[in-house]
Structure 1
């Protein structure tokens, strides 16, 4: 059984959650055409292209005979107030389970459906990593480049840090979501410009010499998001939509600060609690649905359509660093667990009011996505149990 391991994603941003993950590690990717700096950044660092406002055709609830045990398990969890959210389990083209449990809005008793959007926290990192690899293919950077080659006003201490080290959490950058309540106050309950977060991190000493250790850092992915904007000349939301989401048909996925419809987030069964998604930016600000993430998983499994090259995809999913104290390795925005028939790729996400886990097992073409709007859920354990229940064919 595979369980996501939540590593060092402490949220102490004033009682909130951090754009978080499960377990991780690092490594370089193939370098493509090199290139020189950089078009000017977009004028509005957080101009957002919202997901489609046209309601999708309602996704039917699906409980395949092979998925009945999964539904019974989740239904029992929901009845005991231990789970609320949406789940999709697929084996290849077969949908074993696609269903919502509990309420998207407790006050109005609006139910979760398979179409409900959720904040996905650090699952965002997979899209940021793919965006960086896309820029590499376009000759606008190499993952082996020093970050200071592409970042304005780079602190001297950052000179040894490479793009690869940002992708793999080996840069030593202070993790801004570990800030204490007093320090975090200026960033809370308002729209945050990414450069504000970068400037805050610039004022902190490195946690260790770049490349010598592994430590989860949301700061590295915020910096990567700034590089995406700077090198592409468009805002982060637009780049993801044009380069990844539209080609993959992920019309309900996006970096969306305009509050399009989604499940409300809760810190316990009835207490609402959400942060402005701009606080998490390219480290954890994307929202999505189980269906769209199943499309993403199908791309990861089959490399179709080719939104990034097969070489880039292989680099993204290859283990680059060992996470101390675990049997898990980290690629680019993705965890690698086990091997052989049990080889599994996974990542979790946590922001205030939302948690999730996304898992694929290539040997079975198995895809398991668990999205929740409850901070007290443990989707990594739930996903691990679902994988156990499905078993190998």
Structure 2
């Protein structure tokens, strides 16, 4: 099925969120043809999961069709991992096969963690969703002064998606890592797209500001707050914020297309420090994300009422176009999550895109099935979304038709 205009818009937004701004190295590594390498797949160490040759064949086909260097997949039923496998390579140049234990940048799926961090502080009475953001950040320019925390969470603030050209140039010219306070100063003079609360438009900058709110209210860097309150309690030992000083062991290499080949993508340290902000800052493994999915079902960190707020429509993203098509539906945004109800099947999901990674995480809470797809290619397009939805239907045939192979 063709992707809806809004989905195309969102994937473009996620994929391009840092693409135009992030600087690469002075001497980029050579490009590699993905098709020259053998097809490989790796299950988790010690796994006794049931074989699914149909899933393997489909995913291998998609990896080849879309020229993906690597892909990591996890399927969860009723909060439990039932299938995990990585396909292709963590590093093409060294021919290192991808493993479910490898870390990928998860892109805008990170926004759900930032939203969870905000909601934890809401339940402690330290943040009010209806309060103005400047209550926590200090005075903002008049145009931004009325923006509320809820509007930042729901993308109804009117903030632009990314830095403007002037801001991008300012960051690129830096020789030192950028701070939260310096980022906020770049956001302040940017004009709004609309009056706060009057419409919907996806904003990475809004989630950067939410990270700043967490830092101000908690008294610690928001990444440390997430480590202490989310990653640690859930034993997500391989999950962390992107480090300013380059990838380390266990993190896959990310790639960008160059003609029919792909080239490793290397950020400058300045842009790596930008990437550690709220819009798309987290790198994780499929196995760690299984623990996150289990929490979303068991709801031990946040109350059921808190999670319900996150999964309640706050803004209409796209209205249903064909009332006679039962597979068409309204698309809404909650707090950190996209929401839709297709043919009676409630769906909670978020995609992610970084310069060298594209991802998708989809949950059907009432059907008890969740699928996570992580890839290390920035221009993977709709491939992760196709895989997540098609694989979900392979495990739950009653789910609505989603997409062509």
| TM-score of the alignment, normalized to the shorter chain, above 0.5 | yes
Residues of 2 paired with 1:12 and 1:364: CA distance? 32
Residues of 2 paired with 1:236 and 1:211: CA distance? 25
How far off its partner does 1:167 sit? 0.2
Question: Please, which of 328, 336, 339 is the counterpart of residue 339 of structure 2?
Answer: 336
1:259-300 alpha-carbon deviations (Å, 9 max, x no partner): 333011101253111444432311101111111112111211
Question: What is the SS of the residue equivalent to 2:143?
Answer: helix
Q: Retained in 2: the 8 A contact 1:2–1:384?
A: no
Question: What is the SS of the residue equivalent to 1:267?
Answer: strand
Seen in structure 2, the aligned counterparts of structure 1 residues 2 and 176 have a Cα distance that, compared at 3 Å, is same
Question: Please, which of 266, 272, 279 is the counterpart of residue 264 of structure 2?
Answer: 272
Q: Retained in 2: the 8 A contact 1:122–1:348?
A: yes
Q: Retained in 1: the 8 A contact 2:80–2:290?
A: no
Name which of structure 1's ranges 136-145 and 150-159 shifts more when overlaid on structure 2.
150-159
Seen in structure 2, the aligned counterparts of structure 1 residues 336 and 2 have a Cα distance that, compared at 3 Å, is farther
Question: What is the SS of the residue equivalent to 1:283?
Answer: coil
Question: What is the SS of the residue equivalent to 2:199?
Answer: coil
Question: Please, which of 131, 134, 147 is the counterpart of residue 148 of structure 1?
Answer: 134
> In the alignment, what sits opposite 1:235?
221
Name which of structure 1's ranges 232-241 and 278-287 shifts more when overlaid on structure 2.
278-287
> In the alignment, what sits opposite 2:403?
none
TM-score, structure 1 as length reference: 0.82
1:223-254 alpha-carbon deviations (Å, 9 max, x no partner): 11011101101111110011111111211112
Aligned length: 350
Return 5+ residue gaps in structure 2 as ranges: 23-42, 321-329, 399-405
TM-score, structure 2 as length reference: 0.80
1:63-105 alpha-carbon deviations (Å, 9 max, x no partner): 624x332111011223445332100112226544211111111
> In the alignment, what sits opposite 1:387?
392
Residues of 1 paired with 2:227 and 2:240: CA distance? 7
> In the alignment, what sits opposite 1:157?
143
> In the alignment, what sits opposite 2:57?
72
- Residue 82, structure 1, aligned to residue 67, structure 2: yes
Residues of 1 paired with 2:208 and 2:309: CA distance? 21
- Residue 295, structure 1, aligned to residue 291, structure 2: yes
Question: What is the SS of the residue equivalent to 1:203?
Answer: coil
How far off its partner does 1:357 sit? 0.2
How far off its partner does 1:125 sit? 0.4
Question: Please, which of 48, 66, 83 is the counterpart of residue 97 of structure 1?
Answer: 83
- Residue 186, structure 1, aligned to residue 188, structure 2: no
> In the alignment, what sits opposite 2:9?
7
Residues of 1 paired with 2:126 and 2:308: CA distance? 20
- Residue 176, structure 1, aligned to residue 170, structure 2: no
